[in-house]
């Protein structure tokens, strides 16, 4: 077999080794990216965003999404509540923050008075 032919054993070995090295490089890069930490991007490694809100004239926070959903149910966070999170340049109304609007949409309304809670 001609060693300059693409299908020669030397060329096939070279190709296979190149592919193995490339796969190892991709694996190493993906692991590095997944372990990367951007300072200030999360609080306590929770992986969730956090918020600050002005409730009853006082700043509250940091608040988790669960805290915000609870305050929405309690009607302490409404459309006109000023809120802030690290990605915002300043305080904004809750109705202009997509994550808060999503939480409000997912929060069930209060039960009707004729339904008893057990």
Q: Where does the chain show beta strands of DSSP type E?
A: 51-55, 58-63, 82-84, 92-93
- Are both 26 and 55 inside the same structural domain? no
Instruction: Please give the Cα distance from 37 to 42 (Å, whole number).
Output: 9
Distance CA 54, CA 92 (A): 10
**pTM score of the predicted model:** 0.55
pLDDT value of position 5: 67
In a domain, 43, yes or no: no
Residue 93 in domain: yes
**Are residues 95 and 56 part of one domain?**
yes
Q: How many structural domains are present in the chain?
A: 2
pLDDT mean over 34-40: 65
User: Could you tell me if 22 and 55 lie in one domain?
Assistant: no
Range of the domain at 102: 51-106
**Which helix or strand (DSSP H or E) is residue 24 part of?**
helix 9-34
Does residue 55 sit in the same domain as residue 28? no
Q: Quick: pLDDT tens for 62-111.
A: 999 999 999 999 999 999 999 999 989 999 999 999 999 999 998 887 77
CB neighbour list of residue 14: distance below 8 Å, 6 or more residues apart: none
Do 56 and 15 lie in a common domain?
no
């Amino acid at each position: 077999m001609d060693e300059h032919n693409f299908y020669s054993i030397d060329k096939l070995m070279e190709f296979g080794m190149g592919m193995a090295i490339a796969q190892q490089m991709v694996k190493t890069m993906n692991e590095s990216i997944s372990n990367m930490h951007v300072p200030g991007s999360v609080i306590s490694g929770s992986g969730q965003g956090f918020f600050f809100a002005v409730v009853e004239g006082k700043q509250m926070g940091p608040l988790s999404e669960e805290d915000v959903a609870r305050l929405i149910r309690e009607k302490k966070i409404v459309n006109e509540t000023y809120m802030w999170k690290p990605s915002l340049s300043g305080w904004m109304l809750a109705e202009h923050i997509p994550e808060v609007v999503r939480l409000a949409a997912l929060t069930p309304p209060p039960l009707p008075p004729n339904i008893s809670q057990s």
